[in-house]
Structures are given as structure tokens and as C-alpha cells.
Amino acid sequence: MDIVEALALIRPIPDYPKPGILFQDITPLLANGDAFKVVNDHLASIIDEEKLIAGIEARGFIFAAALANSTGNGFIPIRKAGKLPHKTFSQNYGLEYGTDVLEIHIDAIGVATDVLLIDDVLATGGTIEAAIELIVRAGGNVDHVVTILEIRALNGRQRLFDKFPHIRITSLMVY
């Protein structure tokens, strides 16, 4: 199986979580061991040096934790509000179908540490922007954002580029 075949397992779900949204369901990809391994191996080939790997709840966690484990790098969870047990930084953000809050432990990173940020989808860019802000507040430098797929029509890449022109963005699949 190659990366194209693995990504083809992602299925669109219309009108979820609300009418007008075309949700991209990664669970068929995750359920296929070969496909999940191919995606993880592909992500590992993108990492050019040892760094912390941050993943955004919930689906970004899956890929970030697997990648951190397979490459021997540390993993940082970026979670929804109220899920982390220690003191946190919080960041409000807007997304395609509402608003939410993300948090990171205040001591999750340390000073001037490079961080690779992973999420499943780049849509409007709001979630990733909030995660970048949190990582910076916790002392990290985001030098690369990786997503499994990108919805080009929602202009998230441009939003992120306008605010963070120094950050490289890689999406495995763009539609």
C-alpha cells in the first residue's frame, strides 16, 4: 500500500456535525494497520531533526503520538479546556462550525524548543492558529505544521501564512 491508497480510505460524511459541513472521517484509515503505518512512515520522513511533536485533540493526537513514539521524540498534548490536570495556558478560537478553547500545560515545552505541530485537517486555520499561539506562550517555536488533509476552499493555509510566514505547512492530501 502506498500513501495515495492509504489516504483514499478517508471517507467524507455530509452534514456532520451540522448541515453544510462535509466531515472527513479518518477512522477507516486508522482501522487499516497497513494504511496507518504508511501514513506514520510518511510523516516520519518529513521530520528533519529531533524535536517535540505536538498534537491537537482529538484526531491530531492519534497521528502525533504515533509519530513521536516511532521516532523517539517527545509528545505534547494540546487539549480542549478542562482536560489537563496541571496549570495551563488557554486560547479561544473559531472553527468552521462554532468556537472552542484549547489548552496546554504551562511547563509543557521549555525555552526555545522547536516543535512540529500535527493536526488531522487544515480548514479555516483557527484551530491550528490557536495551537501555535499556545506553543509560543509555553516557550516553543513552531517551525512546521503537518496535516493529513487540507480543505483549500476554506483558505486556512493563507490565514496561517499571513500570521506566521516563517512556518512551513505540509498537507498530505489537499482537496
Cis status of the peptide bond prior to 153, with omega within 30 of 0 = no
What are the φ and ψ backbone dihedral angles of 58, each rounded to 5 degrees?
-105, -35
Our answer to whether residue 59 is catalytic in this structure is yes
Residue 159 annotated among the catalytic residues of the structure: no
Q: Which of 57, 96, 103, 150 is catalytic?
A: 96
- Catalytic residue among 57, 59, 79, 150, which? 59
Give the chain as a DSSP string.
Answer: --HHHHHTT-EEEET-SSTT-EEEE-HHHHH-HHHHHHHHHHHHHH--S--EEEEETTHHHHHHHHHHHHHT--EEEEEETT--SS-EEEEEEEETTEEEEEEEETTSS-TTEEEEEEEEEESSSHHHHHHHHHHHHTTEEEEEEEEEEE-GGGTHHHHHHHH-TTSEEEEEEE-
171 CB contacts (<8 Å, ≥6 apart)?
122, 146, 147, 148, 149, 150, 157
Active site residues: 59, 96
